[in-house]
Structure 1
Amino acid sequence: MIRIHLTAADFAGIRFAPRAAPLLELNTALMKLLTPGDELLFGRWRRRSLRSLPAAVEALGDLVPAGRAPGFLDVFDDSLEEGLDAAREWRPDEVRSEIERVYAGHPAPPPLWVRDLHRGEAGAWRVLRRAQHTAFDSVLRPVWPVVRDLHQREFTRHALAVAEHGLGAALAGLVPGARLLGSVWELPGARERDVEPGGRGLVLRPTFHWNGHPLVSDLPGRPVHVTFPAGPGLPIAPPLTPSGPDDPDRQEEALARVLGRTRCEMLILLAEEHTTSGLARRLGVSNATASAHAAALRGAGLVTTVRAGRAVLHRRTAMGSLLAGRPAPARGASG
């Protein structure tokens, strides 16, 4: 349960975000991609989106090593370019503290680029910016007009609820399980948490790629942001063309019946070079499981494996590309 303790100043400062925030929506979309479950509704969207993510996006996974994201990824600007610059506004000591927090107790040390980010090196900030921009282009840009329309409808719905029933009723009805008890707004949450804005106010933000419990960002000196699931509760996708015998989805289903789902997805991912750990992260399996599947595909002549320093790199062969029914792109290493 999340309990937000509101003062009179907080009540006066509650507002509904007028526009969708690109990087906030991206964060929730990536969370949904990496959260197992809802296979019937989200399985195909999840597999298709994960396969289409360019290698540059994997840097974002390095910043969330144990499901905890650093605060400087909480970006609420409604302009993509301004949002991409927002993390640089954090003080160097705050950035270091957040990286240390998310890696505390993690068995593996941070990758080199994260250590560079910890030191404040400009090149590491460029890695982060490229990862966020690339992820947005891959996951959200095709559906961003739909997200904006959904946000405007949610904004209008909330405004009408406040006008007809008052702010208290609107807060209590924001999500199932919410209630207002005096000056305490209770929301369902994954763990017990008390939040005290202390006059900083609240910003309510709908998201359309997350259907879990509300998310609360409580950063010092900033309003508290409450992100809640809204919209139809289904994955947003561009319109699909009618399928035929050459439809990639139908070909994929046939291939999955022969190879198994995980090996099929691995073969499709290996149109680009990946490390074993990179494959494991994309497929949601352990490194040992990813290595075993790669070995099976290699034994069938569908994948090649080479060692580069301490990394093991996998890429599908020409036979693998022929079986996958998709030509491999120009050669270029990925993580």
Structure 2
Amino acid sequence: MPELALEFSVDDLARTRFAFSPLWETVVSVRVLKTPGEHALHFPWLRETRDRLAATGLDVSPLADLIPGPHSGFPDFLTPPPDTAVPDFDAELALMATASPEQIRKDLDFFEYPPTATFAHRLHADPDRLSELVTVLRAYWELAIEPYWPRLRDLLEAEVHFRAKRLTQGGHQLLFEDLHPHVRWAGGILRVDRRCCVLTRKLTGDGLLMVPSVFTWPDALTMVEGNWQPTLFYPPRGIATLWDHREGKCPPEALAGVLGRSRATLLLALGDPLSTTDLARRTGLTAGGVSQHLGALSAAGLVTGHRLGRQVKYTRTRVGELLVSAPR
């Protein structure tokens, strides 16, 4: 399979960083609307979003015209890489709105848009029409992504925390070890399978920006052209349960008999770093009850909490892991 090979220097290793992007999620989610069969995992989101689009009559064709298909990229000017770890949608959209006419035309020229992609051709002829796209993007964000953003953000924050921990524990080898089936690391070179062509590129000391992304699933995508920091987009861990509204798994009877059913359920749910709100949503317990039980589990040395941004994320300690995984 064709691949992209990125060669890292010592500076690039040191400058690898993490972020996530609400603007990227907004843009790439259009692929789900256009080719739902390629993104079955997101069917619950798709059903609700289609209903909202139908109810409001929002015309997203200017944006959809610029997304060629499930196995193609899209113009880079739509998604400038985030420059902070937790970017704001409005700030990202404002940055996108500053794209120059030269950049817009260059990016559009890379794709062979069919005559039916009306807005793509209009934008190429008149880049000032970018303001129309900004309006559509904002409306689409408010309708399709913003209502779900707290849930998406929690998952993405947990992934950033997990990968940062892997990096400190085992360097880039451990960081990339289980990132994605199409991503491999060996000898200071990161290889990413791609559909179009073979490309080898030496990074120039800026490092790699790693962006976990919900709507990138099931792919791993890259952005390595232009003047931006080279970027890898990949699906986060735990994405399979993102749209699952059911209560948490029932704990084994033996574990529930020792800890109590609620505390055993919480301990079982903490396979990924989760906040009190996350746990309440997943288990059906009240936020106050979750907080009380976490205090008891923490005092017993079974869970630990760490601050991540504005939230405290809880994980199982090694003792908690052993208790959950012990054979019964």
1:87 partnered with 2:89: no
C-alpha distance in structure 2 between counterparts of 1:112 and 1:26, whole Å: 18
Counterpart amino acid of residue 119 in structure 1: D
Post-superposition shift, 1:114?
4.6
Alignment size in residue pairs = 234
| Structure 2 residue 128 is matched with structure 1 residue 100 | no
Task: Give the whole-Å Cα distance in 1 for the aligned partners of 2:66 and 2:96.
Answer: 13
Q: What is the match of residue 304 of structure 1?
A: none
Aligned equivalent of 1:215: 221
Q: 3-state DSSP class of the match of 1:179?
A: strand
Distance apart, 1:235 and its partner CA? 7.5
Structure 2 length-normalised TM: 0.63
| Structure 1 residue 218, shift from structure 2 partner | 1.4
Q: 1:185 aligns with which of 181, 190, 209?
A: 190
Aligned residue in 2 for 1:115: 122
Provide the C-alpha distance between the structure 2 equivalents of 1:129 and 1:176, rounded to a whole number of angstroms: 35
Aligned to 2:233: 227
Cα deviation, residue 177, structure 1: 4.6
2:286 maps to none
Matched residue SS, 1:55:
coil
Match of 2:257 in 1: none
- Aligned pairs for 1:313-328 within 5 A: none
AA matched with 2:67? V
RMSD across aligned C-alpha pairs, in angstroms? 2.7
Q: 2:93 is aligned with what amino acid?
A: L
CA distance in 1, matches of 2:140, 2:163: 30
Contact 1:63 1:114 in 2 (8 A): no
5+ residue gaps in structure 1? 241-335
The answer (yes or no) to whether the contact 1:74–1:217 under 8 Å persists in 2 is no
For 1:112 and 1:182, how far apart are their aligned partners in 2?
A: 45
Is 2:64 the partner of 1:64?
Answer: no
- Map of 1:46 onto structure 2: 46
Deviation, structure 1 residue 3 = 1.8
Query: How far off is 1:204 after superposition?
Result: 0.4
SS in 2 for 1:166: helix
Deviations, residues 84-143 of structure 1 (Å, cap 9, x unaligned): 1222332221211222322x3x4416526852553232xx22210111111111111111
Q: Secondary structure at the match of 1:37?
A: helix
Q: Which amino acid aligns with 1:176?
A: P
Give TM-score, length-normalised by structure 1. 0.62
* Deviation at residue 203 of structure 1 after TM alignment: 0.4
Cα displacement (A) at 1:215: 0.6
1:135 to 140, 144, 160: 140
Alpha carbons of structure 1 residues 179 and 101: separation in structure 2 relative to 1, 3 Å: closer
Structure 2 alignment gaps of length 5 or more: 247-328
Change (3 A) 1:82 1:27: same
Distance 1:210 1:35 in 2: 13
What SS does the aligned partner of 1:75 have?
Answer: coil
Instruction: Give runs of aligned pairs for residues 1-335 of structure 1, distance below 5 A.
Output: 1-17=3-19, 20-37=20-37, 41-53=41-53, 54-65=57-68, 67-77=72-82, 78-102=87-111, 104=112, 106-108=113-115, 111=118, 114-116=121-123, 118-121=125-128, 124-196=129-201, 197-234=203-240, 236-237=242-243
Cα deviation for residue 65 of structure 1 reads 4.1
Q: Tell me how far 1:216 sits from its aligned partner.
A: 0.3
Contact 1:177 1:187 in 2 (8 A): yes
